[in-house]
Amino acid sequence: MTNPTAAMLVIGDEILSGRTRDSNMYYLAGELTKHGIALQEVRVVSDDAQAITGAVRALSSRFDHVFTSGGIGPTHDDITADCIAAAFDAHIDVRDDARALLEAHYKTTGLELNAARLRMARIPDGAALIDNPVSTAPGFTLENVHVMAGVPAVFEAMVASLLPTLTGGAPLLSQSLRVMRGEGEIAATLGALAAEFSDLSIGCYPFQKDGVFGANIVVRGSDGARVDAAVTRLSRDLEG
């Protein structure tokens, strides 16, 4: 039985402009790997309703899960929730359970739950809330799309809340071998290894150190014994 598949949609002009470095993809990839969900595609789109809606529809039809980050805050350019609702033809408005969370939060902080902050309680009909233990304003899941904040600390907390509710597969294991040879010198050996261990993922990542070319070879798979066998074979073949 194969592991569930996933895609990530990163939303925000600040990412595409280079003003903000995205760390959420790196974090999500590691957590999904441990949970046995295969992240297979990542897209970055601007704060444009048509782009967001189109990407959500395309990704949700191809993958078991879609994880989004960004665009669910209180300002005018936070349009993700509306776009997710539009992608699934769902009505969206302030929902009582989300409002209650924000009311309790702002009561303890002494801040006003004004109209802007109340926008964060707008949830599409039929969506399940994703807990946010950092700043309270919830994310949500609609169909197979999980909508979360862009701020890394909040995103990571939401992922921690969400992942235990999702069915994963076998965690992906990996081993690496560092060789001081160029890719052209080891390509034939790697090709033969990949053919023999077709159930594994074998990647070659070149580097240069002190003018000498080398490569980190990474072997990944869900069967630890097979990963061990492939690395042992590779080490032996490169020594020969």
Q: Global pTM?
A: 0.88
Domain ranges of the chain: 5-165, 173-239
The reported pLDDT for the residue numbered 1 is 54
The reported pLDDT for the residue numbered 172 is 85
CATH 3.30.70.2860 corresponds to the domain 173-239: yes
Q: In this predicted model, what pLDDT tens digit does every residue of 205-222 receive, in sequence order? A: 999 988 889 999 999 998
State the CB neighbour count (10 A cutoff) for residue 104.
Answer: 12
Instruction: Report the interhelical angle of 152-162 vs 24-35 (nearest 10°).
Output: 20
CA distances from 12 to 72, 158, 166, 201 (A): 11, 18, 26, 32
Pick the CATH number of 5-165 from 3.40.50.720, 3.90.550.10, 3.40.980.10, 3.10.350.10: 3.40.980.10
Name the band, by pLDDT with cuts 50, 70 and 90, for residue 239: confident
With CA atoms as reference, report the closest residue to 206 among 193, 197, 215, 195.
Answer: 215
Q: In this predicted model, what pLDDT tens digit does every residue of 56-99 receive, in sequence order? A: 999 999 999 999 999 999 999 999 999 999 999 999 999 999 99
The reported pLDDT for the residue numbered 112 is 94
The reported pLDDT for the residue numbered 231 is 96
Integer Cα distance of 37 and 7 in angstroms: 10
> pLDDT at residue 155 above 90?
yes
CB 107 within 8 A of CB 101: no
What mean pLDDT do residues 182-204 have?
94
